[in-house]
Amino acid sequence: MRPQVPLPPGSSSTDRRLSVLASHLDSSSSMDSQNQSSVALSATSNGVSAFANIAQAPEDPILGVTVAYNKDPSPIKVNLGVGAYRTEEGKPLVLNVVRRAEQLLINDPSRVKEYLPITGLADFNKLSAKLILGADSPAIQENRVATVQCLSGTGSLRVGGEFLARHYHQRTIYIPQPTWGNHPKVFTLAGLSVKYYRYYDPATRGLHFHGLMEDLGSAPSGAIVLLHACAHNPTGVDPTLDQWNQIRQLMRSKGLLPFFDSAYQGFASGSLDADAESVRMFVADGGELFAAQSYAKNMGLYGERVGALSIVCKAADVAKRVESQLKLVIRPMYSNPPIHGASIVATILKDRDMYNEWTIELKAMADRIISMRKELSDALRVRGTPGDWSHIIKQIGMFTFTGLNQEQVAFMTKEYHIYMTSDGRISMAGLSSRTVPHLADAIHAAVTTVV
């Protein structure tokens, strides 16, 4: 990452955003290439494209892995890049309960395709808040939660970020080191300034609790703090409940504002309630918080782009005014959200039978991921692969943060056609009993031949 370029006085907020963003982007989209692009943009035609000199942007570090995978003709290739659930047969999964809900929706002649309100489907919003905060949440009972339907987890983070940039007195958001690669970009473009707090200790392959507490302890009062509600991406390392409580106490004592990213509720432990404990702990103390929810993974609705942003406020009238301002953020961004995915979620969440069926299917996905952890760790033991691999079992959620370095990852891709992100993260949800031996062979070869 390059240092931020100082801007002359009088620069616009767009200049500031772009400059900050440039410092977070990959080196291949350097300021030089941005300058070239603006020259190209201002050039007049003569048959030459106004974009003739535009720089080739790098692929996304996560979604670009799928692009490379798709180009590889090898029959033994495996995609462990993006966090997308696959069956034992390596196929994408549409949950049965989702198919059932879709049938109901299709067969209902009263359904139309009108625009939703700016805030989305009202039922969906209520049920989503209930899902993350708990059915008996005092915040819901006291009507002090503003919930808006957004474009999956990413859209919820972006809308929340932009709301904060407009209305909150502190523009700095602390995010964990490391974190999901899109976080710094989303928040920077939302108009916030991003700083990191220590989170992961490579030496122990566990939580850097001391560093985390020290960094949040020295954050300026009122700063925003991004927390992964469960199944931290990419490390698979979560605080214990006791550590969460200490984090909560410290944050409340300094007036730090929690912004939870909940992209994996139900995927960590298999229990929707257990995976929401961290968030609910922060609601129980009466304080304020933001929560971005995604149904991509836990309902397998990846491409439907369905999620929600909830802002828990201290009083009902505040929540009402907050909601009115969220509408002003959303309207010029995408006007209003799509109807289909939210209707599926609402159909499932409001019907006891379907809800139960969902929890069973969700648990089956979480269990399959956990069994992949065991199989991979056994396979490495059988091969006598050097090193301590116990973290494969200990880590939680969709990913294992293997500790493999960039060269080892490149070797595995080149020699074994295994696709994963260059930070050594593998999606356990993309593995199957069939592909575990191949992955174990690749890891063994990588650690024994690439130093």
Nearer to ligand PLA, 380 or 420 (CB): 420
Examine the residue annotation and report whether 358 is marked as an active-site residue of this protein. no
Among 261, 304, 357, 423, binds ligand PLA (CB under 6 A): 261
Q: How far is the CB of 124 from ligand PLA (least distance, A)?
A: 15
Binding of residue 152 to ligand PLA (CB under 6 A): yes
In the residue annotation, 261 being an active-site residue is answered as yes
* Smallest distance from ligand PLA to CB 228, Å: 6
196 to 235: interface string for ligand PLA, x by CB under 6 A: --------------------------------x----x--
Give the Cβ contact number of residue 285 at 10 Å. Answer: 12
DSSP 203: T
H helix runs in 138-264, sequence order = 138-141, 152-167, 183-190, 209-217, 241-254
Q: How far is the CB of 426 from ligand PLA (least distance, A)?
A: 11
Give the nearest distance from C-beta 155 to ligand PLA in angstroms: 7
Measured CA to CA, the distance from residue 445 to residue 407 in angstroms comes to: 12
Q: CA separation (Å) from 389 to 57, 166, 420?
A: 36, 46, 18
Does residue 244 have an active-site annotation? no
Window 45 to 84, contacts with ligand PLA (CB under 6 A): 62, 82-83
Residue number, 150 or 319, with CB nearest to ligand PLA: 150
CB atoms within 10 A of CB 20: 20
The residue written with tokens 């035609």 in the block is 45
- Closest separation in Å from C-beta 290 to ligand PLA: 13
Count CA within 13 A, CB hemisphere, residue 117: 14
Residues contacting residue 83 through CB under 8 Å, at least 6 positions apart = 233, 297, 398, 399, 427, 429
Q: Does 149 bind ligand PLA (CB under 6 A)?
A: no
Binders of ligand PLA among residues 293 to 312 (CB under 6 A) are 294, 296, 307
Q: Which residues of 344-359 are buried (b: 16+ CB within 10 A; e: fewer)?
A: bbbbbbebeebeebbb
Residue 258 in contact with ligand PLA, rule: CB under 6 A: no
Beta strands in 165-305 (DSSP E): 172-177, 193-198, 200-201, 206-207, 224-228, 257-262, 289-294
- Of 146-154, 265-273, 274-282, 352-360, the segment contacting ligand PLA by CB under 6 A is 146-154
Residues in the site for ligand PLA, rule: CB under 6 A?
Answer: 62, 82-83, 152-154, 180, 182, 228, 233, 261, 263, 294, 296, 307
